[in-house]
Amino acid sequence: FAIDEAHCISEWGHDFRPDYRNLNQLRTNFPNIPIIALTATATQKVREDIVKQLNLPAPHIFTSSFNRENLSYEVLPKKESFNTILSLIALYPKESVIIYCFSRKDTEALAAKLNANGHNAGTYHAGLNADKRRENQDKFIRDDIHIMVATIAFGMGIDKPDVRLVIHHSLPKSIEGYYQETGRAGRDGLPARCVLLFSTADKFKQDYFISLISDMEEKAQAQSNLDQTLQYGRLDSCRRKFLLGYFNEDYDKSNCANCDRCVAFEKLIPVKVADTSISAASTPGYSYLAERDGKKAHVDDSDHDTDLFDILKQLRMRESQRLGVAPYIVFGDKALRGMCVTKPQTDAAFLKINGVGDKKLKKFGKKFMTAIKEYEG
């Protein structure tokens, strides 16, 4: 038996679901069947509870690093949050974006404002019926909509690899939940941005729901979780180090160079982007100037041909619609970027692209190489 999202079993996990407790019957009813439990976000306490709840007498426990080096972390003030969101989205035109909100009402209101401003946004929350949620989710996966505005109900089991931006419009209930949700960005290994819009006023919404918890131990845990998210929002040191430390992972670097606190320590010179005050300085995939030891060095993570990338994305969309599959099933963004850098025009060169094998060469190679050749003139 393979149990995914195993943190749901634990009452100390950020997404505890009581029905998962029924899984403890597996060991009793099937004593000789192997069991594997998997989760991307579990503290030591949660891991111990998973073992206890599944009745695993002497399990092998494998823990890999929680560090996602391609993700950048930052906190921005929530003041004039809609303008901030518009500015951030402008940095990722036609890219996949998830915005997490506190309530269904907030979700619907924000999506309506985004659509009124010319964006293509959908919603996902528990107030929608199952068919509508599935429809909106499928549209997001197929790139029919680029922005999903959702409550934390969205994302579990979603394996869309090319989400470039995750915004938390409200204070998360726990660091575990926050890390799980930001982890839906950049699963293709390419740079992605995780932004928390921070306001201590959001604390009072959470305080109200904590006050309704009758179990004192559960209430204390919820309060501790909230205090840690507030600490994260107020940090003046490396955010990555804080997040990894929460999961008992020691991060020995003094500067991760990919969160807003460490970027500030590197004295990055902000760049005005799209006539807004939002700096691209900490945005992977965008150019900026860094000043180190008095010397200026040009840094550019976007060394692929962006015009060709747009052409190949359109071709990918047509092929995905023809086959009735999600665009990333045809090729991921990493493969397209590789094509834009090397611009292959032979089978041998095409096969060298990360994400291309014999089957994809046979199925799509001719069309994509023709597009590249025509672009090159």
Q: Please say whether the beta carbons of 14 and 41 come within 8 A.
A: yes
pLDDT band, very low/low/confident/very high, at 16 (cuts 50, 70, 90): confident
Residue 299 in this model has a pLDDT that exceeds 50: no
- Angle of helix 216-233 relative to helix 202-211, nearest 10 degrees, comes to 170
What's the confidence (pLDDT) of residue 305? 84
Question: pLDDT at position 158, please?
Answer: 67
- CA–CA dist 260, 266 (Å, integer): 10
pLDDT of residue 291: 34
Nearest residue to 344 (alpha-carbon basis) of 375, 299, 321, 322: 375
Nearest alpha carbon to residue 183 among 150, 161, 203: 161
Per-residue pLDDT tens for 98-130?
Answer: 999 988 999 999 999 999 999 999 999 988 888
pLDDT, position 263: 82
Looking at every residue in the chain, the average pLDDT score rounds to 85
Q: Is the pLDDT of residue 297 over 60?
A: no
**Please, is 26 exposed, middle or buried when counting C-beta atoms within 10 Å of its C-beta (0-12, 13-18, 19+)?**
middle
In this structure, are residues 68 and 183 in contact, taking their beta carbons and an 8 Å threshold? yes
For 235-274, the pLDDT digits (tens) are 989 999 999 999 989 999 889 999 999 985 444 434 333 3
- Over residues 286-295, the pLDDT tens digits come to 333 333 333 3
Write down the pLDDT at residue 356.
92
- Per residue in 63-104, pLDDT (tens digit) is 888 999 999 999 999 988 999 999 999 999 889 999 999 889
In angstroms, the CA 222 to CA 224 distance is 5
